[in-house]
Structure 1
Amino acid sequence: MAKRKDTVIVTGSTGFIGSALVNSFADRFALVGLDRAATRQPPPAAECVCIDLTSEDVVAAGLARVRTAYGARLASVIHLAAYFDLTGERNPLYEEITVGGTEKLLRALKQFEVEQFVFMSSMLAHKGGRPGDIIDEDWPLESNLPYRTSKIETERLIHEQHGAIPVVYARPAGVYDDLGRNAFLANQIARIYEEDPTGHVYPGDLRTGQSFLHLEDLTDAVARLIDRRKKLPTELALLLGEPEVMGYGELQAEIGRLIRGENWETREVPKALAKAGAWVQQDVLGEESFVRPWMVDIADDHYAIDISRARNVLGWQPRHSLRETLPRIVDALKADPAGWYRANKLDAAKVAGSGTKAREKDKAFEAKHDKMKPGHMAEMAGMGKQMLWAHFLVITLGVWLLTSPLQFALFDPAAAGTVRDVTQERGLWEPVLRNALTGWSDIVSGLLLMLFGGLALSPRFSWAQWGTTIAGLWLLFAPLFFWTPSAAATMNDTIVGALAIAFSVLVPMMPGMSHEGMMDESTVPPGWTYSPSSWLQRLPIIALGFFGFSSPAISLPTSSAMWVLSGSRSSPAETAGTARNSSSHPTFLEPGQSLMPGLAPWPI
């Protein structure tokens, strides 16, 4: 019969440290994860029992479930669950969760045979030293911050109420792993990576620093605590961390060298200036600044620790060091900046699209499309053949435009009308001349449309489509340029110009569209296998939309309104406020007078 595994409870089992402990102990203990009800679950190696440390009844019910499933003997309870925030402000949750929750948990555990209770306190419960000081377990504690106060008060409560349960006050240094995953360390690295100006200043002695502790070394220390639980004193305080401490200035320089390959200068600044800068960022500019005033206040605290006790009672010492791990942390950042930022709960949008993985993705994209390009180009050529009708239609438009001056009698002096007096008053060219110029413009434009339409039939002359577009644009504006007297010629040029543009670059594929641009996944619409339009196509539409949105309503003179409403062949300037009330007799209107009852003229 297999020996039953010892039962170990881990509170806060879904967190950074809790998950690592569960994964590390998976094959050695029967694990129970006590955590609040949440979407996250502890690793599969632990049974999840949901509790709420602020409710004594819920804690008791959760432990009753543990008693039923695992019995009354518990090898160890690793108590990680606690409250922490970066504000530095007093918060009732420190008292409710960290202190009060521990009290409720201890009270419920009195119904068990508990061989060990490990409270995960903090190295920061000790008063900060100065460069040269070495802190041991007998160093004074200091409760000058809410987080520190909660740890110190909880240690005091456990001391008073643990009864027959052996306890360990584990006081680890700042925990990190190969991705960083330490809020203070990660933000320090990110400021240098982003070349943030605030990364060049420090509101304290650059020689000060603090001990760190790799996550694997912490799990090793906790495993040793459990293994040696029956040999340890009934009450034990234990500092855990790396003996070597890199001063802030040295750490900055090393991070800068690893990231930038050059020296990173850091200067000391007055605390008042640092607090003012943090206040401006947080409260004036509304930025989510990591640096808070309380961090400035403790910038001179130095935490170099003596781990002799851990060596003696556990035979433990760290196998990692921050100095040796920094290159791996920075390599991970460079390889995948966005992933590293997400792992460290930073804003990944700041580094999106950068890093080794992003470059590898680009190379894979290029290789993929190089492979697809021959088939895609053949498909594009086939599409081009299917759209040849559009170019034949452009040729047809050119033929029509070539003959239209005869259809509209643009070369017939009698068709110019009887508006010469107004023409002279306004200083315009003679109507006969303007009609003739319009006619010659149509003839030349028709020939160009035929030429460019014919050339566009061959893939070698795809640029000819742009020639058709230019001719179409000219047709749109030619009647305005010549002040064409013929309304029919104006309408004809407008329609033919618009159709020429549509059947040159809008209906058929626009010339110059690249394979890479069409296959760029970021621009392919849902349901498509390629991007049907490039930015070259979209920009004119965007520009026209912006122009239409931003330009004020266009006002025409009263004479223009009368010209439009009357249907006269004469231009606005020539009608000069006249409108026909019969087929042959003009009637002159005063400015602002309407042609029809109840219909106001356009504004002047």
Structure 2
Amino acid sequence: MANYLVTGAAGFIGARVSELLLQDGHTVLGVDDLNDAYDVRLKEWRLKRLAGQPGFRLFQQDLRDYQRLKPVFESGPIDAVINLAARAGVRYSVENPFIYLETNNNAVLNLLEQCKIHGVPKFILASTSSIYGLNAPMPTPEETNSDHPLQPYSASKKGAEAMCHAYHFLHGLDVTIFRFFTVYGPAGRPDMVMFRFCQWIAEGRPVHLNGDGEQTRGFTYVDDIARGTILGLKPLGYEIINLGGHEVISINEMISVLEELIGKKANVVFHEAHKADMLSNWADVSKARRMLGWEPQVSLREGMRRLVEWYMQEREWTSQVLTP
């Protein structure tokens, strides 16, 4: 069994990765500062599923603080760092780019330096599909140009990828970078479209839609993303791999499915398209299949059914979560 350090352990993907690792008998050192980027109740709900499990230990720590990060690495031998902590979201990065630089670049550098000092052999970085910018081919392969990010968020992730390559080249760190496409599922981020629209339809609130709704997204269920992330722990050298986005649907079609599953009609209010939003994303995941043997197992409709079911079970508080 191995010892893994998972950053963003209270996050949407990080919590599920931690849960699966613990189920397989591994030890997980979870790091999360439990910041208020969105409603902390979601993070607390996820942590309740991890707390008390044998092999789990939580460090409530800000990765930007290099000195306070040292004791985490000194707490025991670490076989790999799975860095799922980040400031995410393309729109908010336009309003406050500084926090994205600090969290998605400076914190990554802190982790990489500690890996070098303590001889951690493996590093996984969560990156983003938004790094591909405009006019990417559909489905998008990893070889697509990613040198022209459109928002500070994707620019910060590009910088993190480059720093990882430097540490691979200089210090032999084995690095797997996952460019996640649109991930959804129970207890997801409330700023993401699936959670927001589920809440708005269920509670009879206006569904605010930027653009005409014909923009498309490639969705993948969180369990499939977590499994793929764990498969990336094997030695690969330095690889960038798309993960997710295998099942594409338009936003209008997604609303129709949610209406059916919830049993309510959506009150859609159309707004002008946001410049930071991408019109479509769809991952070419052939590399993940070839190198990791990864195959998504949960269909879009089944995953949406699980999301709606979770929301309704937790509705007493999920209905009050702020969905910007």
TM normalised by structure 1 equals 0.46
Deviations 1:52-96 (A, max 9, x none): 322332223332233xxx3xxx33210112224653313322222
Q: CA deviation at 1:261?
A: 5.8
Q: State the alpha-carbon separation in 1 of the partners of residues 2 and 187 from structure 2.
A: 32
Task: Report whether the alignment pairs 1:218 with 2:221.
Answer: no
**Pair 1:62–1:37, CA change in 2 (3 A):** farther
**Structure 2 partner of 1:165:** 173
**Structure 2 partner of 1:236:** 239
**Structure 1 partner of 2:144:** 139
Q: CA deviation at 1:151?
A: 0.8
Deviations 1:286-310 (A, max 9, x none): xxxxxxxxxx114452001110000
Q: CA deviation at 1:50?
A: 4.8
Asked if the contact 2:190/2:322 (under 8 Å) is kept, the reply is no
**Structure 2 partner of 1:28:** 25
3-state SS in 2 of match to 1:303: coil
Q: CA deviation at 1:103?
A: 0.9
Match of 1:313 among 291, 294, 313: 291
Q: State the alpha-carbon separation in 2 of the partners of residues 61 and 265 from structure 1.
A: 51
Task: Report whether the alignment pairs 1:78 with 2:74.
Answer: no
Q: State the alpha-carbon separation in 2 of the partners of residues 335 and 33 from structure 1.
A: 27
Asked if the contact 1:128/1:302 (under 8 Å) is kept, the reply is no
Asked if the contact 2:70/2:114 (under 8 Å) is kept, the reply is yes
Equivalent residue runs for 1:458-469 within 5 Å: none
3-state SS in 1 of match to 2:105: helix
Asked if the contact 2:2/2:26 (under 8 Å) is kept, the reply is yes
Asked if the contact 2:213/2:250 (under 8 Å) is kept, the reply is yes
Equivalent residue runs for 1:255-404 within 5 Å: 255-260=258-263, 270-271=272-273, 296-299=274-277, 301-334=279-312, 337-341=315-319, 345-346=321-322
- In proportion to residue count, which structure has more strand? 2
What RMSD over aligned residues (CA atoms) do the two structures have, in Å? 2.9
Q: CA deviation at 1:177?
A: 1.8
Equivalent residue runs for 1:50-89 within 5 Å: 50-66=60-76, 70=77, 74-84=78-88, 87=92, 88-89=94-95
3-state SS in 1 of match to 2:246: coil
Q: State the alpha-carbon separation in 2 of the partners of residues 155 and 320 from structure 1.
A: 29
**Structure 2 partner of 1:439:** none
**Structure 2 partner of 1:102:** 108
**Pair 1:270–1:9, CA change in 2 (3 A):** closer
**Structure 1 partner of 2:124:** 118
The AA in structure 1 aligned to 2:140 is I
Q: CA deviation at 1:104?
A: 1.7
**Pair 1:54–1:25, CA change in 2 (3 A):** same
Q: CA deviation at 1:251?
A: 1.1
The AA in structure 2 aligned to 1:34 is V
Task: Report whether the alignment pairs 1:187 with 2:185.
Answer: no
Q: State the alpha-carbon separation in 1 of the partners of residues 61 and 108 from structure 2.
A: 12
Match of 1:6 among 2, 5, 12: 2
Q: State the alpha-carbon separation in 1 of the partners of residues 117 and 127 from structure 2.
A: 24
The AA in structure 2 aligned to 1:24 is L
Structure 1, unaligned runs of 5 or more: 272-295, 348-604
Q: State the alpha-carbon separation in 1 of the partners of residues 317 and 164 from structure 2.
A: 40
Q: State the alpha-carbon separation in 2 of the partners of residues 327 and 62 from structure 1.
A: 38
**Pair 1:222–1:336, CA change in 2 (3 A):** closer
**Pair 1:337–1:37, CA change in 2 (3 A):** closer
The AA in structure 2 aligned to 1:258 is L
Asked if the contact 1:9/1:31 (under 8 Å) is kept, the reply is yes
**Pair 1:300–1:151, CA change in 2 (3 A):** closer
Q: CA deviation at 1:266?
A: 5.7
**Pair 1:265–1:59, CA change in 2 (3 A):** closer
Q: State the alpha-carbon separation in 2 of the partners of residues 236 and 247 from structure 1.
A: 30
3-state SS in 1 of match to 2:4: strand
The AA in structure 1 aligned to 2:141 is D
Q: State the alpha-carbon separation in 1 of the partners of residues 58 and 298 from structure 2.
A: 31
Q: State the alpha-carbon separation in 2 of the partners of residues 6 and 47 from structure 1.
A: 14
**Pair 1:267–1:129, CA change in 2 (3 A):** farther
Q: CA deviation at 1:189?
A: 2.2
Q: State the alpha-carbon separation in 2 of the partners of residues 154 and 48 from structure 1.
A: 24
Asked if the contact 1:11/1:33 (under 8 Å) is kept, the reply is yes
**Structure 1 partner of 2:58:** 48
Deviations 1:175-233 (A, max 9, x none): 22245555321112223334444x2x64435332112221211221122122xx13x2x
Deviations 1:124-147 (A, max 9, x none): 2221447x8221112222422121
Q: State the alpha-carbon separation in 1 of the partners of residues 105 and 269 from structure 2.
A: 39
The AA in structure 1 aligned to 2:145 is P
Match of 1:206 among 191, 203, 213: 213
**Structure 1 partner of 2:251:** 248
Q: CA deviation at 1:99?
A: 0.5
Q: State the alpha-carbon separation in 1 of the partners of residues 158 and 123 from structure 2.
A: 16
- In proportion to residue count, which structure has more helix? 1
Structure 2, unaligned runs of 5 or more: none
Q: State the alpha-carbon separation in 2 of the partners of residues 316 and 179 from structure 1.
A: 23
Structure with bigger RCO (C-alpha 8 Å, 6+ apart):
2
Q: State the alpha-carbon separation in 2 of the partners of residues 190 and 84 from structure 1.
A: 20
TM normalised by structure 2 equals 0.81
Greater shift, 325-334 or 120-129, is seen at 325-334
Percent identical: 23
Deviations 1:363-419 (A, max 9, x none): xxxxxxxxxxxxxxxxxxxxxxxxxxxxxxxxxxxxxxxxxxxxxxxxxxxxxxxxx
3-state SS in 1 of match to 2:173: coil
3-state SS in 2 of match to 1:95: helix
3-state SS in 1 of match to 2:81: strand
The AA in structure 2 aligned to 1:76 is A
